[in-house]
Amino acid sequence: MPDRARAGVPRRTVIASALCLGVLPFAGCGIRLEDDAPRVPLVPTRTPVPVEAELVALTRDTRALAALAATVAGPLAADLTTIHRRQHTVLRTTLLRRQVPAAELDADPSPAASPPPNAASPSGDPVPSSGAAPSGAAPRASASPGASASPTPSTSASPSAASRRAALGDAEGAAAEAAGTFAGVEEDLRATVAALHAQRFAAATLLSGREPEVPGDPVSGTAVAALAASTSAAIYFFEVVSARSSGRQRERSDETLAVLRDLRTDQLAGGSRPDDAIGHPLPFEVETTADAARLAREVLTTLRAGYGEQLAPLVGSEGAAGLAAVTRWLGTVEVEVHRWGLELVPFPGLE
């Protein structure tokens, strides 16, 4: 007859005791999983991903931004609600694949210092932690000509509606201003993180009529030269758009031209010298105002995609300054995209 465990002692207890005595003789029967616990054989450990704490906070704040945007009236806020939900899905899925615990990603964001009245969503989700402007911060710089077309809260809007819109704009802007803290992100996430912060820059500018105060340290290198060359081509085409436009469209085109010229000046501030072509062939004949509007939209779409190709290289070579630069530059292009009636996207330049 085969041996059996003693009567009255469950089989699982016998197995557990054997494991404690035979497999883990020096660890005892209790296995601690705290961060400061000693390493135990057969218990896997996880190495945090680079800038994990910042990425976890960004994921939480993105979810809170979506909740806040859902409380703000108007088509822009509705678009931002969809955008932030998509961003949250991408960030959360990406970090889960890197074994970041779901409990960390799904926790509430750290509370804002003092959210404005009625700024919380009906579901009780808090305002994003990035929504509060730094104490003592100076007012943001005035917007570029491209930001002037964005509606601002009217005097007839209720205080609660105005405060929710202001809270959303502040949260978007604070996130854009903090872009440089993600410079140490993994190589395959550089473009994603840069594009997301460019979206934040554009949203803040469109909501408030003011550009966020993103650091403007000069950067250089081949990626900057490529960006400047793309901007130069867009300037050339918009000169055609202005020449073939009239009335309000001509004014809009001239404003976009001014924005693009300022962008190019900023891109050349670090000493980069792009290989600018003297002329560029038009993609189609431009004879009418409608043709000019079509060219404007096509040029901006192409410019946004061209910037997207340089996001990862610039962040890789220039670090925090490069990430701040592409936040400003791509974010500014995204503002112009919106002004010409094109759709905002969660990750500009990458989709």
Residue 348: per-residue pLDDT: 98
Task: Specify the pTM.
Answer: 0.76
Distance (Å, whole) CA 311 – CA 294: 26
Residue 45: per-residue pLDDT: 78
Structure tokens at 259: 């924005």
CATH of the domain at 106: 1.20.1260.10
Residue 44: per-residue pLDDT: 65
Distance (Å, whole) CA 83 – CA 81: 5
Distance (Å, whole) CA 81 – CA 70: 6
DSSP assignment letter at 141: P
| Contact in structure between 149 and 217 (CB atoms under 8 Å) | no
Q: Which residues, 6+ apart, have CB-to-CB distance to 21 below 8 Å?
A: none
Residue 18: per-residue pLDDT: 41
Helices 159-177 and 190-208 cross at an angle (nearest 10°) of: 150
Distance (Å, whole) CA 93 – CA 87: 10
Residue 335: per-residue pLDDT: 98
Q: Which residues, 6+ apart, have CB-to-CB distance to 227 below 8 Å?
A: 267, 306, 307, 310, 314, 326, 329
Burial class (CB in 10 A: 0-12, 13-18, 19+), 86: middle
Residue 97: per-residue pLDDT: 96
21 within domain boundaries? no
How many CB atoms within 10 Å of residue 258? 14
351 within domain boundaries? no
Number of structural domains the chain divides into: 1
Structure tokens at 223: 């990626």
280 within domain boundaries? yes
The SS3 of residue 210 is: strand
Task: Give me the domain span that covers residue 281.
Answer: 52-111+156-339
Residue 128: per-residue pLDDT: 53
39 within domain boundaries? no
Residue 242: per-residue pLDDT: 97
45 within domain boundaries? no
Structure tokens at 120: 């919380």
Residue 136: per-residue pLDDT: 33
24 within domain boundaries? no
Phi then psi for 33, rounded to 5 degrees?
Answer: -115, 10
How many CB atoms within 10 Å of residue 302? 15
36 within domain boundaries? no
Distance (Å, whole) CA 249 – CA 176: 30
Mean pLDDT (10-residue bins), the chain, 351 residues? 47 42 40 51 78 97 96 96 98 97 91 40 42 36 37 51 93 97 96 98 97 95 95 96 97 98 96 82 95 98 97 96 97 98 97 85
| Contact in structure between 174 and 62 (CB atoms under 8 Å) | no
